[in-house]
């Protein structure tokens, strides 16, 4: 007997679909490019609804807070955005990172 894998209930894409089926307005953020040190790999997702609820991760810390804030604007306007975040090696320790890096995140409304 072969068991088929169950969908991951923590998968941001599945959560986005469920939220949309519940009538929520939803945006999704996707890591599309990284350089140097990055907490999440390319392809990582963060899904956000118009109330600021979120699931998944594109980075962590203040970057995630900024992505969530931008997502509310993207939901309202319907216009996608490309966001870039980075920290130089010289200043990384000041913000609690071991080394510098950059990420590019594409943010779009779904539905």
In a domain, 32, yes or no: yes
In a domain, 3, yes or no: no
Q: Is 64 helix (H, G, I), strand (E, B) or coil?
A: helix
Helices (H), the chain: 12-21, 61-77, 89-92
pLDDT at 9: 67
In a domain, 101, yes or no: yes
In a domain, 77, yes or no: yes
Strands ordered across the beta sheet of 101-110:
54-56, 45-49, 26-36, 101-110, 81-87
Residues 2 and 19: their CA atoms lie apart, in Å, by 31
In a domain, 93, yes or no: yes
In a domain, 73, yes or no: yes
- pTM given for the model: 0.82
pLDDT at 76: 97
- How many domains does the chain fold into? 1
Structure tokens at 61: 């810390």
92 pLDDT band, cuts 50/70/90, is low
6 pLDDT band, cuts 50/70/90, is very low
pLDDT at 79: 98
Q: Lowest mean pLDDT: which of 44-48, 77-81, 102-106? A: 102-106
Residue 87 belongs to domain spanning: 25-110
In a domain, 99, yes or no: yes
In a domain, 37, yes or no: yes
Q: Decide if pLDDT at 77 tops 60.
A: yes
């Amino acid at each position: 007997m072969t068991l088929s894998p169950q969908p991951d209930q923590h998968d941001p894409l599945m959560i986005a679909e469920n939220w949309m089926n519940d009538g929520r307005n939803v945006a999704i953020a996707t890591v599309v490019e990284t350089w140097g040190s990055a907490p999440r790999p390319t392809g990582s997702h963060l899904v956000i609804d118009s109330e600021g609820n979120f699931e998944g991760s594109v980075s962590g810390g203040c970057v995630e807070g900024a992505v969530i804030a931008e997502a509310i604007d993207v939901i309202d306007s319907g216009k996608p955005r490309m966001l870039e975040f980075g920290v130089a090696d010289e200043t990384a320790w000041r913000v609690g990172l071991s080394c510098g890096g950059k990420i590019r995140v594409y943010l779009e409304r779904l539905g």
